[in-house]
Amino acid sequence: MPKIKCLIVDDEQLGRDMLESYTKRIEALELVHKCKSAKEAQEWLNKTDIHLIFLDIQMPRLSGIDFLKQLENPPTVIFTTAYANYALESYELDVIDYLLKPISFERFEKAVSKAIGQLAIQSKANAFDQQDHFEEDFLMIHSEHKHIKILLKDIIYIESLKEYVRYHTTQGKIMELNALKKVADQLPKEHFMRIHRSYIVALNQVKGYQSGKLVLQEPLELPVGKTYKKEVVDKLFK
């Protein structure tokens, strides 16, 4: 896991310096800046990807709690405060921990460990969301009074036949009452491409391009429409 970029937000110099000394002792942390106010912290959030904030509560003009409430997508937060009476409200804001001053390094380290664990879980969840699940993805179509599941990985190309579309797959051909444009809108653009007013092709099936046609498995060739030619060539062959 890359280093966790963090901000310290505290209106007192002593508090900022103490937290800075603690962050330097934990290899997983990268201190981006020490902020004197919520306003200054907001400026850094606007220009830098911050993962963790050590946030004081009692600050002039805008408290740490009010600052956190106004953030749309806040980073992970650890409150650092001299006041115990905000603990309940802080947990309602989903902060990772609540550190009471004076803060020992051992207590600080424990809070950071919790933050590291949460950020690791978030990172894995984000990575999973971004994974390409093409091998498992499918279309459910209605054909001949039946609902049929077609795996996207099995599709070679899709053909428009007036008010119908025909799916040419590795498992055979299937007809459906549908519009090609509607089908195109359902398919992932990284795997399928409209190449003609009558054809959508699976990109992994394309072997080459010649004489205005895409070459798939021999002897199969599909025409490329004039309005699609530049996009097809740019995407597949440049």
Residue 220: Cβ-neighbour burial (10 angstroms; 0-12, 13-18, 19+): middle
CATH 2.40.50.1020 residue window(s) in the chain: 138-237
* Rounded-to-integer distance, Cα 192 and Cα 178, Å: 17
CATH 3.40.50.2300 holds for 4-130: yes
Mean pLDDT score of the chain? 89
Cα dihedral 95, 98, 99, 101, rounded to 10, equals: 120
CATH class of domain segment(s) 138-237: mainly beta
- Whether the pLDDT of residue 126 is over 60: the answer is no
CATH 3.40.50.2300 residue window(s) in the chain: 4-130
Could you tell me which residue, 230 or 20, shows the higher pLDDT? Answer: 20
* Rounded-to-integer distance, Cα 236 and Cα 238, Å: 6
How high is the pLDDT of residue 159?
97
- Whether the pLDDT of residue 128 is over 60: the answer is no
Q: What is the pTM of this model?
A: 0.56
* Rounded-to-integer distance, Cα 182 and Cα 55, Å: 49
pLDDT for 59-115, tens place per residue? 998 999 999 999 988 999 999 999 888 777 777 788 889 999 999 999 999 999 989
Nearest to 66 by CA among 82, 74, 52: 74
